[in-house]
């Protein structure tokens, strides 16, 4: 089930009403209810893959208890290995089996041998990368003595499967989210208002902006033999915005939906395209994943504590694995490597730019431009397609701009929406508590905005037969 679907439009109000009418008092019935509705939410796509979530939950619940109770360090390590093998084993098989088989065969073909190795028709379970990392963080935190295990099996299962953030994050830590399943929940107007407003903003970004950009981007990337010049440049810029808007929209809806149920999820984006450096960008972009890799990979590898060259090596390892996390393709590995290089080599140049440009405008443009170019590998199906995109990047053929899904009026409207979004984020960046300021305004002004957002989604949303971007981009990861 996806957020921007009729099914979710029926599912969520029913879940919300039943939740607050019957399950807000005692934590155990409430958690059982959340487990059931979360499994319905996930199983709506394919109920067979619920077994993976259930097995991961059982394994990490038991292993977490055993690690905490065990005094022998060697046995603790073996218990951790069990958790890693089960979770990463599922992830490796369903996401990377065919990738490694194909890569193995291609390596031999370089030496004149072409082994006949069969691949499997494996379906990638939606959200497996997200919930695998979430449940793993629980075991790892217990192993590193950062938290203690819960004895409430229903709270733990609800934590792993919590439906708002199950398939595309944010990737929550047990020490932040798990205790909330034991807290008493009380519905109040402020919770409802802030949650629904954030959901509405997420739907606006997804349906009105991101899906409209997709109508231009998809025809360009599917017509690489003919697309050249300015349309390619615009497709590269548009995709950088589509990816951010689409993914941050999912996070907004997930955080907003959780708020209406009395749960607080972590922030996942913080205006990353206003970043004055790459190091700052990765503190603002997909924060829950970046911090996961920092805490459970970068720091255990030594972080920046073992000299300059070791630090660079650790950064590259993190970014290569981050690229592979996003997809079983060498394009994603290259994308990760490029961003690792940006962080290692370009931030020194950017720091010099920032000394002369106190508003960081030039630095932000450089960060965004480099990022957008790297996303060519992220978006392209093959390495050859990516090279074709780079080859076709120039400012010729402006007359063909309107041949790729959006007419003149629609294209100008899309650019206007992006300008509006940038200005709005600049205001948010400077006025930190914009929401707090807004809720003090007169009732008429507030409800006028609510109505404008709702009508914009209905009347300006990008709908139609043949659109293939109703799914959120990060569902594929």
Give me the active site residues, please.
326
Strands, E assignment, 181-220:
none
Nearest to 238, CA basis, from 212, 261, 271, 264: 212
Q: How many residues are given for the chain?
A: 477
Residues 6+ apart with CB under 8 A from 104: 115, 117
Rounded distance, CA 421 to CA 409, Å? 18
Find out whether 247 and 286 touch, Cβ atoms under 8 Å: yes
The token pair at 112 is 């004149």
Find out whether 153 and 61 touch, Cβ atoms under 8 Å: yes
Q: Give the residue carrying structure tokens 């050249």.
A: 228
DSSP state of 392: T
Residues 6+ apart with CB under 8 A from 364: 273, 274, 275, 276
SS (H, E, C) 10-63: HHHHHHHHHHHHHCCCCHHHHHHHHHHHHHHHHHHHHHHHHHHHHHHHHHHHHH
DSSP state of 393: -
Q: What CA–CA distances, in Å, run from 414 to 260, 274, 328, 410, 419?
A: 31, 20, 32, 6, 9
| C-beta atoms surrounding 228 within 10 Å | 19
DSSP 261-319: TT--PPP--S-GGG-SSHHHHHHHSSHHHHHHHIIIIIHHHTTTSS-HHHHHHHHHHHH
Rounded distance, CA 1 to CA 15, Å? 14
Rounded distance, CA 322 to CA 308, Å? 21
DSSP state of 124: P
Q: Give the residue carrying structure tokens 């959901």.
A: 199
Find out whether 472 and 246 touch, Cβ atoms under 8 Å: yes
**Surface-to-core class of residue 410, CB atoms within 10 Å of its CB (0-12 exposed, 13-18 middle, 19+ buried):** middle
Burial 232-244 (b: 16+ CB within 10 A, else e): bbbbbbbbbbbbb
The token pair at 107 is 């390596």
Find out whether 98 and 120 touch, Cβ atoms under 8 Å: yes
The helix (run of H) or strand (run of E) holding residue 119 is none
């Amino acid at each position: 089930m996806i957020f921007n679907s009729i099914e979710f439009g029926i599912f969520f109000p029913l879940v919300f009403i039943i939740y607050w009418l019957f399950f807000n008092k005692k934590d155990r019935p409430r958690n059982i209810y959340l487990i059931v509705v979360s499994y319905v939410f996930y199983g709506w796509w394919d109920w067979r893959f619920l077994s993976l979530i259930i097995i991961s939950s059982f394994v990490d619940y038991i292993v977490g208890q055993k690690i905490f109770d065990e005094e022998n360090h060697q046995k603790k390590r073996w218990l951790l290995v069990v958790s890693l093998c089960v979770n990463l084993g599922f992830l490796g098989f369903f996401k990377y089996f065919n990738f490694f088989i194909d890569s193995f065969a291609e390596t031999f073909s370089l030496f004149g041998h072409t082994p006949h190795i069969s691949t499997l028709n494996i379906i990638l379970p939606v959200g497996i990368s997200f919930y695998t990392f979430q449940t793993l963080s629980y075991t790892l935190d217990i192993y590193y003595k950062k938290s203690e295990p819960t004895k409430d099996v229903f709270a733990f299962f609800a934590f792993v499967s919590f439906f708002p953030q199950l398939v595309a994050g944010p990737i929550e830590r047990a020490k932040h989210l798990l205790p909330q399943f034991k807290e008493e929940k009380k519905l109040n107007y402020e919770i409802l208002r802030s949650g629904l407003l954030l959901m509405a903003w997420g739907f606006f970004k997804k349906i009105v902006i991101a899906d409209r950009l997709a109508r231009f981007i998809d025809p360009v990337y599917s017509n690489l033999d003919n697309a050249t010049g300015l349309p390619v440049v615009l497709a590269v810029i548009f995709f950088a915005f589509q990816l951010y808007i689409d993914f941050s929209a999912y996070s907004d809806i997930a955080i907003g939906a959780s708020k209406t149920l009395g749960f607080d999820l972590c922030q996942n984006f913080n205006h990353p395209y206003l970043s004055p450096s790459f190091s700052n960008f990765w503190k603002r972009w997909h924060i829950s994943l970046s911090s996961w890799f920092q805490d459970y990979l970068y720091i255990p590898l030594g972080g920046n504590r073992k000299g300059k060259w070791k630090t660079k090596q650790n950064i590259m390892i993190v970014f290569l694995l981050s690229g592979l996390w996003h997809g079983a393709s060498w394009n994603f590995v290259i994308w990760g490597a490029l961003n690792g290089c940006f962080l290692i080599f370009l931030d020194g140049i950017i720091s010099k730019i920032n000394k002369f440009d106190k508003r960081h405008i030039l630095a932000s443009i450089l960060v965004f431009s480099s990022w957008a170019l790297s996303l060519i590998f992220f978006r392209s199906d093959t390495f050859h397609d990516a090279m074709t995109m780079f080859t076709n990047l120039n400012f010729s053929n402006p007359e063909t701009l309107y041949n790729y899904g959006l007419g003149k009026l629609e294209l100008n409207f899309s650019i206007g929406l992006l300008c509006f979004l940038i200005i709005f984020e600049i205001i948010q960046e400077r006025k930190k508590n914009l929401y707090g300021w807004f809720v003090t305004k007169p009732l008429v002004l507030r409800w006028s905005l609510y109505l404008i957002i709702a009508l914009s989604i209905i009347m300006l949303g990008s709908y139609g037969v043949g659109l293939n971007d109703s799914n959120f981009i990060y569902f594929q990861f």
